[in-house]
Amino acid sequence: MSLVLSIFPGIDLLGRAFEECGFCVVRGPDVIFGGDIRGWHVPAGRFDGVIGGPPCQCFSRLAHMVRHNGYEPKFGNLIPEFERVVSEASPLWFLMEEVPDAPAPKVDGYGVHSFVFNNRQTGESQNRSRRISFGWRGRRRVLQVEVVALENPQWDYAATGGGRATPVAIDGSGKVKYAITSQAVLKGKLKRRMSSIVGSNIKSGLQFRELCRLQGLPDDFDLPEMKVEAKCQAVGNGVPLAMGRALAKAVLELEGTKP
């Protein structure tokens, strides 16, 4: 059984997916629980792999809107912290997930295979793309992720950490409806009606149960110590479980071929 370190875990849906596929996952500190990876160190040679997704706000395509309003994204570029931890841990491999526009990490001694992977390629309905950067010590190895031949005919917009419904006009009628996120807008029109998922209180954001469904979590999943908005943010920031499982299985296959 491979031992994996999960950093920037949040509620760690990515780590959960790796656990489901047979990995033993140890979680590092996270701000959601009062931790801070900056200044945190890890011993070398203890872990087979390192996984994680540094905060993505500064690479998001919506970051310019935040700056236009006179603010900076809450978290700066923490990819260097991911690189530092990998360098310290010296694992056989690492896997970083980020928004599509984020740069791939660079760690001395590792070859990196970087690609954009969409959750719909697993057969799920949620349209969510992430940049996956897979590093292998010594040389670059391609992560062969299994994808479906035909995508799901249903189409759901991406769940996000904002956990909010965004008003859009549907079919040019001008009547305001609500979609899952700002990504729901495509040339001013909504590709699919999503009003059924909106609760009676729009201000509280997207319904927690609907976010869980989109992310592949079981019906009874809960975060009882958190307020509803914090729950939505925590779940929306995670990696869809189907995507995480596909990545974990691909890593298992590569581990089986190591010298």
Position 36 scores a pLDDT of 94
Q: Are residues 127 and 179 in the same domain?
A: no
Give the chain's residues under pLDDT 70. Answer: 58-75, 161-206, 258-259
Condensed to tens digits (0 to 9), the pLDDT of residues 72-125 reads 556 679 999 999 999 999 999 999 999 999 999 999 999 999 999 999 999 999
Number of independent structural domains in the chain: 2
Q: Are residues 96 and 181 in the same domain?
A: no
Position 1 scores a pLDDT of 87
Host domain of residue 182: 166-233
Position 62 scores a pLDDT of 56
Q: Is residue 156 assigned to a domain? A: no
Q: Are residues 131 and 93 in the same domain?
A: yes
Position 163 scores a pLDDT of 57
Position 73 scores a pLDDT of 56
CB atoms < 10 A from the CB of 222, how many? 13
Helices (H), ranges, 125-240: 208-215, 228-236
Transcribe 18-59 into DSSP letters: HHHTT-EEEE---GGGT---TT----TTS-SEEEE----GGG
Position 58 scores a pLDDT of 65
pTM: 0.81
